[in-house]
Structure 1
């Protein structure tokens, strides 16, 4: 390779370094400029007038004229097959007298080879091609200008007219023209050049004729124009010329099949490569992986990579340029992982229950030694948003923790949220404990999320009266540095009240005050209920007095508990005064209040008071409900009034109520003769 610096004589501005690759071509040496993109744009008129320039006869100003800017790329793929005596790039001889950056194909990596040989031919072709003739003269060809003159050529005769005054050029020039015309969507002109080369070889006996790389360029032009009906025409023409496709030809075919959505056909090309004794290049494997990606087949991608890895480790591929193949191996490994990650994300988004497929794929990836990194797992965790994703999210989280303690706090918060959504609150607490013990340190959102989970659990404990669970949750919150609020304390108090755990309720109330949390009317109501159930009536009245001192206004529930306390204490006469006080503060007694009064009278053996309060509901314009009748029927039956109990039972049925089987059994047993 020869490297130099081009200077624009008009501005003395340093422009992009020009690299030249030297190859033996016929009797000439061809230099292909790879740095044309750095030159300033100027008029193309000069180029169209002088498509070929003799370096000796040209003045320095002509040689230093700015070259039109075009996107340049390697032209090694257009080398003459017959002169080299090889059909495959890997068999090309090394160039002699080349500096550190050798241009022989063996020095190129797999990806660079396919770039050089048209697998990635999205560029227009080289603007300028310079070559030495007989080691003395330098000729510079403006390929772009010549290609423009062929834009409307449809047949070989049209090309013949354009080239009648032009000397025979090396094959790299024609190869570049064909690709450039393909990029310009002028496929007929590209075919016309190939037909002209065939005519020129046949009629004039020229040594320049279409070779493998000319046809590779033509196939790339077909791909660029997306005129896929021409693919078979190119392949058949190659066969008629006795030209055997190389790996680049097959790579281009695979990419064409991908463009058409024929993914299985693209995969079948790999079998054709093996059956023809060719060695797949890294681009071949990457194209196969891309096919599996398009198909959404992560298992196929993993199997393909495992096969490639086994061949690579056995030395069947990558014998030469081991360093380059090592780099390509790493790239293919990362690409395979990315395909698997993409497929798993699609499963998480689209499938109702993706867990089985994801776990199966993770096992296959582990067997293939494919290890996603922390960022990969975190992206997958963000895709976990449904309750059914709980097991998958837990697996991803565990894998991140196993590889290192470095994990995003936002991801941890997302996992805590997801665990709560899936009702896996203890698992969410485990993640929160990891934040406290391992890191990263939890933020306000972390505390809010875990607090909300505790609230849900405490609410469940309150509804079911699971006081032990509630106490345990409160203790757990305090152990983890969470401060329970009045809502949490009240939940535990209500659970203790429902379970008639009077002493525990008193302790919880005392802890609540010690922690600096101000009791609410719900707190006092739960404590009153627990004391009433424990028959600690004097203590309950003391709590009632304390409520007034701290200016906590009682609600309907608190008044209902108070009337039960007075009846239990043996002061039923105070019930009327409590009801009057309720009305004076704007709280009307409800059917629940009268149910509590009737129930308290039944527990304390006040048979006459039961019927009086039942009839007194009319004065407050209240109608009894099922609970009222059940309490009344059971109380009358147990206190020696079976006929009245049966009458009330039938009355409830007539009013459309469905009393519990317990009430029916109680009435039936009371009616039986002793």
Structure 2
């Protein structure tokens, strides 16, 4: 049991009241109610006594004005006001006396309103504060039934215990005013605070109809009691709160008309509720106009008023408006225009909360920009600068969340800016954010920027993980494949050096890309050195490695070395593929060893490797390069016998070999045959046939050759892309004579 005794506070008189457990019990629910009760006493020289039985002891508070109750038994407002704060499970409110039940419910309202925390989604907490605060604000009516409806003629009036929760549940079943009258017929006149609490519960349950039926009953009671009982400001505020929570906005005008008819003026809570309703309706400009009405009607906006205005800007996705609104609000506070009337609010703390809410709004709007289908990267970059100028930059967490919102290639510039801000302003950064930035930079083909981020991980932390390693290696692979396709072997070499400098171990895939690039560039010496370095670094060569090396040796006409490499490959158990066999066929052709060429072809057939036009083209090309046109023509017929269809390359190489060997008529016949088969030969083949016929005096009908084919256009490379590759790999712009030391540059130079 908790008991208090009557005492006087200036002109206020508080009656004696007791709190007991309800007579009802539930065997399935074991609970133990623990209540704490403290009087927040205004300026008074008397002593207030708080006594709690069941071993809680007695606490004595002095009414001295310097006493900071927030450091006492319970946190209170900066300027103590009369009232009672009870902290307990809200599920037991119905077991308490009606005035006290209302007081408990209202105290929850005040505490929620004062805290007004900004949660993770940035707006639901403001709505929560308003939902709870729209019925009772800091200037709410006196608690414990002390007021116009609970005191008459200076006499104390005591009410019996009422289970407010049970009563609210019964009133939910009422369908008409008569049903309400029947439910309340056995009740003595209850104070308006009880009905205010019940209407609040209707709002939480979104029961607009139940609230309106109870309201109609209260209007009839006002007529029956000649105005001594009827809806007051708090009842109307509660009804507006139900409108907002239930979404039945059409009832708003009806309620406002009833307020005007009863001559009840708005207070700040009313205006705050109207702002919330307009926001829910999507009428954001009207919500902002309500804030102007608060000023115009002589009221001081509460923190909830300003948070609702910020919420309106959030719903409009107008972060510039929200930012400007807060900056103006902060300037007004520093000029003393806010909080000067000592309204009981801790405006220093409230301003910090509003600042956090503004930052949250700005973050959310920028995130919406990033996930939209439009490219709004420039908007994000500009607004980041605006926030810096306003003195409210984003937190590290918000910056990192924005990085995660960047997923498109055109977001790379935003990610780079966000990453730079985090590195410059904070000591730590999430590794997952760094990995995401590396991934996006690679997607946008900004490999050098990805490499810089990886270097930061090595130098500044956090330590890169397997995902970091895989991402940066994948970017190197992209560059190495580009070098392989373009045959720019120096790119490959420098990229391998950079990988090793950064602690990345190249695998066979990376080594093979460089070997293929050397082969395409006919850099035989470079290919040999890369192959040796690959073995020295503990990487086992694959069939692709051997194939690239054989190709480079074949192009360098180092046939004996190529044979040694072939024998070594077979010896170590690497099975040749079609490409390796084709290279060896080309080598034996260049040597004129056609018996070995036949053996190579037969071996391919024996082990099940398909002999394609590529292999025959290599043999015919070898014959053409070495002036063996007759052999080339023989292998051409063998193709036909094996039902292998020749392609443009086959005809062009054979025509060139025959024309150069003084056989223009045969070259002419092959050209016309290719044309009849629907093949389109190059202008070079046409020119060779014409020139050979003229040079050897052959009579050919040039008209049957048709018009000269157009010259094939060379693919134009984008210089900007090439420059980016050069800058990353550190490759000279002009091709220089190969220097063997370049292959081992990472070993001969200090790592930067």
TM-score exceeds 0.5: yes
Report the counterpart of residue 299 of structure 2 in structure 1: 278
Give yes or no for the alignment of 1:467 onto 2:489. Answer: yes
- Does the aligned pair in 1 maintain the 2:524–2:556 contact within 8 Å? yes
- Does the aligned pair in 1 maintain the 2:35–2:86 contact within 8 Å? no
**TM-score (ref. length: structure 2):** 0.71
Report the counterpart of residue 288 of structure 2 in structure 1: 267
Give yes or no for the alignment of 1:445 onto 2:467. Answer: yes
Displacement of 1:425: 2.4
Q: Say which is worse superposed, 111-120 or 530-539, in terms of deviation.
A: 111-120
The 1:544–1:156 alpha-carbon spacing in structure 2 relative to 1, beyond 3 Å, is: closer
Per-residue CA deviations over 1:456-489 (Å, capped at 9, x if unaligned) read 2212221221211111111111111111111111
The 1:170–1:162 alpha-carbon spacing in structure 2 relative to 1, beyond 3 Å, is: closer
- Does the aligned pair in 2 maintain the 1:219–1:234 contact within 8 Å? yes
Q: 2:215 aligns with which of 191, 197, 207?
A: 191
In structure 2, distance between residues paired with 1:23 and 1:164: 38
Q: Say which is worse superposed, 155-164 or 337-346, in terms of deviation.
A: 155-164
Mapping 1:557-568, distance limit 5 Å: 557-568=579-590
Report the counterpart of residue 118 of structure 1 in structure 2: 135
Q: Say which is worse superposed, 493-502 or 613-622, in terms of deviation.
A: 613-622
Displacement of 1:149: 8.8
Give yes or no for the alignment of 1:603 onto 2:603. Answer: no
Report the counterpart of residue 559 of structure 2 in structure 1: 537
The 1:160–1:610 alpha-carbon spacing in structure 2 relative to 1, beyond 3 Å, is: closer
Per-residue CA deviations over 1:513-544 (Å, capped at 9, x if unaligned) read 10111111211111111111112122212212
- Does the aligned pair in 2 maintain the 1:7–1:15 contact within 8 Å? no
In structure 2, distance between residues paired with 1:30 and 1:173: 20
- Does the aligned pair in 2 maintain the 1:21–1:32 contact within 8 Å? yes
Per-residue CA deviations over 1:605-642 (Å, capped at 9, x if unaligned) read 22322222222323433221111011112222233333
Report the counterpart of residue 107 of structure 2 in structure 1: 74
Mapping 1:319-358, distance limit 5 Å: 319=340, 320=342, 324-358=346-380
Aligned residue for 2:445, secondary structure, equals: coil
The 1:526–1:211 alpha-carbon spacing in structure 2 relative to 1, beyond 3 Å, is: same
Displacement of 1:219: 3.2
Gaps of 5+ in 2: 5-17, 24-29, 44-80, 111-127, 697-752
Displacement of 1:455: 1.8
Mapping 1:48-59, distance limit 5 Å: none
Q: Say which is worse superposed, 513-522 or 454-463, in terms of deviation.
A: 454-463
In structure 1, distance between residues paired with 2:262 and 2:214: 17
- Does the aligned pair in 2 maintain the 1:23–1:31 contact within 8 Å? no
Per-residue CA deviations over 1:192-237 (Å, capped at 9, x if unaligned) read 4763686589x47x6x886644543443354455543332233334
- Does the aligned pair in 2 maintain the 1:22–1:30 contact within 8 Å? yes
Aligned residue for 1:228, secondary structure, equals: coil
- Does the aligned pair in 1 maintain the 2:483–2:514 contact within 8 Å? yes
In structure 1, distance between residues paired with 2:588 and 2:179: 118
Report the counterpart of residue 621 of structure 1 in structure 2: 643
Displacement of 1:368: 2.9
Report the counterpart of residue 333 of structure 2 in structure 1: 312
Report the counterpart of residue 18 of structure 1 in structure 2: 37
Report the counterpart of residue 508 of structure 1 in structure 2: 530
Displacement of 1:76: 10
In structure 1, distance between residues paired with 2:83 and 2:601: 108
The 1:592–1:562 alpha-carbon spacing in structure 2 relative to 1, beyond 3 Å, is: same
Report the counterpart of residue 100 of structure 1 in structure 2: none
Report the counterpart of residue 661 of structure 2 in structure 1: 639
Q: Say which is worse superposed, 408-417 or 153-162, in terms of deviation.
A: 153-162
- Does the aligned pair in 1 maintain the 2:37–2:86 contact within 8 Å? yes
Report the counterpart of residue 372 of structure 1 in structure 2: 394
- Does the aligned pair in 2 maintain the 1:149–1:162 contact within 8 Å? no
Aligned residue for 2:106, secondary structure, equals: coil
Mapping 1:42-441, distance limit 5 Å: 72-74=105-107, 118=135, 129=145, 139=158, 142=161, 144=164, 175-176=196-197, 179=200, 185=207, 186-192=210-216, 195=219, 199=223, 203=226, 212-213=233-234, 215-224=236-245, 226-319=247-340, 320=342, 324-441=346-463
The 1:161–1:509 alpha-carbon spacing in structure 2 relative to 1, beyond 3 Å, is: closer
In structure 1, distance between residues paired with 2:108 and 2:601: 101
Aligned residue for 2:158, secondary structure, equals: strand
Displacement of 1:273: 2.5
Per-residue CA deviations over 1:5-44 (Å, capped at 9, x if unaligned) read 96769999661213456799xxxx9855644646858879
- Does the aligned pair in 1 maintain the 2:628–2:657 contact within 8 Å? no
Q: Say which is worse superposed, 67-76 or 219-228, in terms of deviation.
A: 67-76
The 1:451–1:12 alpha-carbon spacing in structure 2 relative to 1, beyond 3 Å, is: closer
The 1:36–1:514 alpha-carbon spacing in structure 2 relative to 1, beyond 3 Å, is: closer
In structure 2, distance between residues paired with 1:415 and 1:218: 51
- Does the aligned pair in 1 maintain the 2:102–2:194 contact within 8 Å? no
Displacement of 1:292: 2.6
In structure 1, distance between residues paired with 2:344 and 2:359: 22
The 1:553–1:41 alpha-carbon spacing in structure 2 relative to 1, beyond 3 Å, is: same
In structure 2, distance between residues paired with 1:487 and 1:479: 18
In structure 1, distance between residues paired with 2:338 and 2:688: 89
- Does the aligned pair in 1 maintain the 2:412–2:444 contact within 8 Å? yes
RMSD (Å) for aligned C-alpha atoms: 4.3
Gaps of 5+ in 1: 53-66, 78-110
Displacement of 1:351: 1.5
- Does the aligned pair in 2 maintain the 1:72–1:127 contact within 8 Å? no
In structure 1, distance between residues paired with 2:679 and 2:214: 92
The 1:620–1:332 alpha-carbon spacing in structure 2 relative to 1, beyond 3 Å, is: same
- Does the aligned pair in 1 maintain the 2:180–2:214 contact within 8 Å? no
The 1:13–1:501 alpha-carbon spacing in structure 2 relative to 1, beyond 3 Å, is: closer
In structure 2, distance between residues paired with 1:322 and 1:136: 31
- Does the aligned pair in 2 maintain the 1:486–1:518 contact within 8 Å? yes
The 1:224–1:348 alpha-carbon spacing in structure 2 relative to 1, beyond 3 Å, is: closer
In structure 2, distance between residues paired with 1:549 and 1:365: 69
The 1:481–1:225 alpha-carbon spacing in structure 2 relative to 1, beyond 3 Å, is: closer
In structure 1, distance between residues paired with 2:102 and 2:265: 36
